[in-house]
Amino acid sequence: MSDPLLTVRDFSVVYDVEPPVEAVKHVTLELQRGEILGLAGESGCGKTTLAYGVQRLLRAPAVITSGSVVFHDASGEHVDLNALDVEQMRRFRWDKISMVFQGAMNALNPVTTIGAQLDDVFLVHRPDMSRLERRAACAKLLDIVAVGRERLRAYPHELSGGMRQRVMIAMALALRPQLMVMDEPTTALDVLVQREILRQISQLRHEFGFSVIFITHDLPLLLEISDRIAVMRAGEIVELAPARQLWEHPQHEYTRKLLASFPRLTGERGVLVR
């Protein structure tokens, strides 16, 4: 049975430069409650622009030129995100939709402790919480993502890349959102750390029941963790299918080329598709 969390219809974004650039072209998709939706495609195809646009995080010269974005809250309310004013959207973010940005070291404040940065989320969005309640919540978050509460007083540069990414996941989980958008969350991490992060994302998704939009150019990674995958090319979604179906029976030529562009670890040597 269909149980949508987010419905995007005819969504377009243009960069208002000379000449104008159509970054996202009439995208329509539906995210189901509790699913991991992979968003794949080459660099520059519009993946991040789409994710930012849905959350109204885009800055000039990016302009949303068409479309609707409706969030189907667990309370039963249907929220038109394009109709919210700036303050309403600010409160909506992190509370209902959170984001793990690409490059954790750049997303974290280098001169502020991890504890203070986690505390800010509660201070802004949960002003009724006492200082002790906020500190306990921050400690619990670090325990959940296996960083350890003893790191509350640490600065970002004192943590490994994997730990910093876990802190970003903890921050995104702080208010128990229903949707987490993850933009290349394992970029620049070694393979073993990537594996640990992905395993943890899956475990947390099962534990807390949130949905995930996972953005990456790494299609094999998405095949492993996603329920469904949307393939983007030049601002358009050219194929959207369950992960297994997309792997076994890709319908679009671009999807087939993406799959063929990754070398196999076993079998006969083939020709790299460009």
- The CATH number given to whatever domain includes residue 94 is 3.40.50.300
Residue 240 is assigned to a structural domain of this protein:
yes
Instruction: Report residue 199's pLDDT band, with 50, 70 and 90 as the boundaries.
Output: confident
Residue 159 is assigned to a structural domain of this protein:
no
Task: Give the dihedral sign, CA 86/88/91/96.
Answer: negative
- CA separation for the pair 167, 173 (Å, rounded): 10
Token pair in block for residue 56: 């109204």
Task: Give the dihedral sign, CA 105/194/188/233.
Answer: negative
Q: What is the pLDDT of residue 269?
A: 66
SS3 65: strand
Residue 267 pLDDT > 70, yes or no? no
- CA separation for the pair 87, 231 (Å, rounded): 33
Number of domains in the chain: 1
pLDDT: which is higher, 91 or 5: 5
Stretch 44-53: mean pLDDT: 94
Token pair in block for residue 247: 């792997």
Stretch 30-34: mean pLDDT: 96
Q: What is the pLDDT of residue 194?
A: 83
- CA separation for the pair 139, 133 (Å, rounded): 10
Classify residue 144 as exposed, middle or buried by CB count within 10 Å of its CB (0-12, 13-18, 19+): middle
Instruction: Report residue 104's pLDDT band, with 50, 70 and 90 as the boundaries.
Output: low
Tell me which residue range forms the domain holding 10: 4-103+178-260
Residue 187 pLDDT > 70, yes or no? yes
Q: Which of 54-68, 103-117, 178-192, 255-269 has the highest mean pLDDT?
A: 54-68
Q: What are the respective helix, strand and coil percentages of the chain, to the nearest 5?
A: 40, 25, 35
The contacts of residue 55 (CB under 8 Å, 6+ apart) are 81, 93, 97, 99, 181
Residue 191 is assigned to a structural domain of this protein:
yes
Task: Give the dihedral sign, CA 50/33/225/29.
Answer: negative
The closest of 64, 99, 104, 96 to 82, measured between CA atoms, is: 64
From 106-120, 126-140, 258-272, the region with the lowest mean pLDDT: 258-272
- Residues 47, 215 contacting (CB under 8 angstroms): yes
Residue 160 is assigned to a structural domain of this protein:
no
Q: Dihedral (C-alpha) 210, 213, 218, 221: value to the nearest 10 degrees?
A: 20
The closest of 253, 154, 141, 258 to 204, measured between CA atoms, is: 141
- Residue with the two structure tokens 């469904």: 228
From 110-114, 142-146, 192-196, 229-233, the region with the lowest mean pLDDT: 192-196
Residue 1 pLDDT > 60, yes or no? no
Residue 23 is assigned to a structural domain of this protein:
yes
- CA separation for the pair 195, 171 (Å, rounded): 20
Residue 136 pLDDT > 90, yes or no? yes
Q: What is the 3-state secondary structure (H, E, C) of 212-254?
A: EEEEECCHHHHHHHCCEEEEEECCEEEEEEEHHHHHHCCCCHH
Residue 129 is assigned to a structural domain of this protein:
no
Residue 111 is assigned to a structural domain of this protein:
no
- CA separation for the pair 25, 262 (Å, rounded): 27
Residue 249 pLDDT > 80, yes or no? yes
Instruction: Report residue 266's pLDDT band, with 50, 70 and 90 as the boundaries.
Output: low
| pTM for the structure as a whole | 0.91
Q: What is the pLDDT of residue 273?
A: 59
Residue 270 pLDDT > 70, yes or no? no
Instruction: Report residue 217's pLDDT band, with 50, 70 and 90 as the boundaries.
Output: confident
The contacts of residue 188 (CB under 8 Å, 6+ apart) are 103, 161
From 10-14, 218-222, 268-272, the region with the lowest mean pLDDT: 268-272
Residue 220 is assigned to a structural domain of this protein:
yes
Stretch 152-171: mean pLDDT: 92
Residue 272 pLDDT > 60, yes or no? no
Stretch 64-90: mean pLDDT: 95
Instruction: Report residue 192's pLDDT band, with 50, 70 and 90 as the boundaries.
Output: confident
